[in-house]
Structure 1
Amino acid sequence: MQAHDWFRPVAAVVGAVLSYLFGGWNALLGVLLAFVVADYATGVLAAAVEGRLSSAVGMRGIARKVMIFLIVALAHLADTVLGDSHMIRDATIFWYIANELLSIVENAGRIGVPIPPAISRAVEILRGKGEGQATER
Structure 2
Amino acid sequence: MGGVNLEYLEVAHLYLFGGVKFVELLLMLMALDILTGIFKAVKNENLWSRKSLFGYTRKLLIFIVIITANIIDQVLSLNGTLTFATVLFYIANEALSIVENMAQLGVLVPQQLAEKLKVIENQSEESFTNEVLNELTGKDVDKELEMNEEEEK
Per the alignment, residue 66 of structure 2 pairs with 72
- Residues in 2 aligned to 1:102 and 1:110: alpha-carbon distance in whole angstroms: 12
2:116 to 112, 120, 124: 124
- Residues in 2 aligned to 1:110 and 1:92: alpha-carbon distance in whole angstroms: 27
Ranges in structure 2 where 5+ consecutive residues have no aligned partner: 130-153
Structure 1 residue 124: Cα displacement: 3.2
1:48 to 39, 42, 49: 42
Distance 1:106-1:33 versus aligned 2 partners, 3 A rule: same
1:10-49 pair list within 5 angstroms: 17-24=12-19, 26=21, 28-49=22-43
Per the alignment, residue 89 of structure 1 pairs with 83
For 1:49, the aligned partner's letter is K
Checking the alignment, whether the CA contact within 8 Å between 1:19 and 1:25 is kept in structure 2 is no
Distance 1:101-1:135 versus aligned 2 partners, 3 A rule: farther
Structure 1 stretches of 4+ moved >2 Å: 13-20
For 1:87, the aligned partner's letter is T
Distance 1:86-1:25 versus aligned 2 partners, 3 A rule: closer
Structure 1 residue 101: Cα displacement: 1.0
- TM-score normalised according to structure 1 size: 0.71
Percent of aligned pairs sharing the same letter: 32
Structure 1 residue 23: Cα displacement: 1.5
Secondary structure of 2:108 counterpart: coil
Ranges in structure 1 where 5+ consecutive residues have no aligned partner: 1-8
* Aligned-residue CA RMSD (Å): 3.0
State the aligned residue count. 118
Structure 1 residue 15: Cα displacement: 8.6
Secondary structure of 1:47 counterpart: helix
Per the alignment, residue 101 of structure 1 pairs with 95
- TM-score normalised according to structure 2 size: 0.65
